[in-house]
């Protein structure tokens, strides 16, 4: 599996419920590296664009209101198979359908207020990272910290 980057943001309910540290901590402990991190209030037009594929759905307008209702915490995570692993750690879209042990399974009950966004494909990750961050906002870490996360003795992390 390749080393990938993915875009995550913690939605306004995660910030207001003081779950930011808890959720970031899960990604850190898993072994992901944080390449970029910031807190901001998303504009309505930005959110409409981010969720453009859902335009016309019955939940689109409530979703726009939800995601613009307070500050969010946005990050780029890097790791092996990051897009799918982060999606698995998030759980299902609805809190009630998310397995215990996942972020939504442990902390969410709503069909709407579900704490976290994560890119759903490598292609959407590239697009979303480009929408949220300038290239120079991504750091590069020293690689020696990874040698107890992956087997780094070959040409690729395994
Ligand atoms: P995802 O966040 O699990 O990828 P998407 O289908 O991309 O889910 O939907 C984006 C967001 O829209 C969800 O995270 C949730 O907040 C909201 N949403 C999705 N489906 C529904 C629904 O059927 N009713 C209400 N809100 C929904
Ligand atoms: Mg989605």
In a domain, 21, yes or no: yes
Tell me which residue has its CA closest to atom 15 in ligand 1: 112
* Ligand 1 closest atom vs CA 92: 3
**157 found inside a domain:** no
User: Which domain, by its residues, includes 23?
Assistant: 3-138
Residue 12: inside a domain: yes
- Give the residue whose CA is nearest to atom 12 of ligand 1: 63
- Lay out the sheet containing 3-10: strands in order across: 33-40, 72-80, 3-10, 116-118
Give the phi and the psi of residue 118 in degrees, each rounded to 5.
Answer: -135, 140
Q: Report pTM.
A: 0.96
The domain that holds 59 is classified in CATH as 3.30.70.141
In a domain, 73, yes or no: yes
> Using one digit for the tens of pLDDT, what is the confidence trace for 36-88?
999 999 999 999 999 999 999 999 999 999 999 999 999 999 999 999 999 99
Residue 143 lies in a domain: no
The domain tally of the chain equals: 1
Cα-only R_g, the chain = 16
What's the CA dihedral at 19, 95, 62, 127 to 10 degrees?
Answer: 70
Is 151 part of any domain? no
Give a yes or no: residue 152 inside a domain: no
């Amino acid at each position: 599996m390749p080393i990938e980057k993915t875009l995550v943001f913690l939605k306004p309910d995660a910030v207001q419920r003081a779950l930011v540290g808890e959720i970031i901590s899960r990604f850190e402990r898993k072994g992901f590296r944080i390449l970029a991190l910031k807190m901001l209030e998303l504009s309505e037009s930005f959110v409409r664009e981010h969720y453009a594929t859902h335009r016309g759905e019955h939940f689109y307008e409530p979703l726009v209101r939800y995601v613009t209702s307070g500050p969010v915490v946005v990050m780029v995570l890097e790791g092996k198979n990051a897009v799918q692993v982060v999606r698995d750690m998030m759980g299902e879209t609805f809190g009630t359908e998310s397995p215990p042990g996942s972020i939504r399974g442990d902390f969410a009950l709503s069909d709407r207020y579900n704490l976290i966004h994560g890119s759903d494909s490598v292609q959407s990750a590239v697009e979303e990272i480009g929408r949220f961050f300038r290239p120079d906002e991504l750091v590069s870490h020293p690689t020696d910290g990874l040698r107890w996360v992956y087997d780094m003795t070959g040409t690729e992390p395994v």
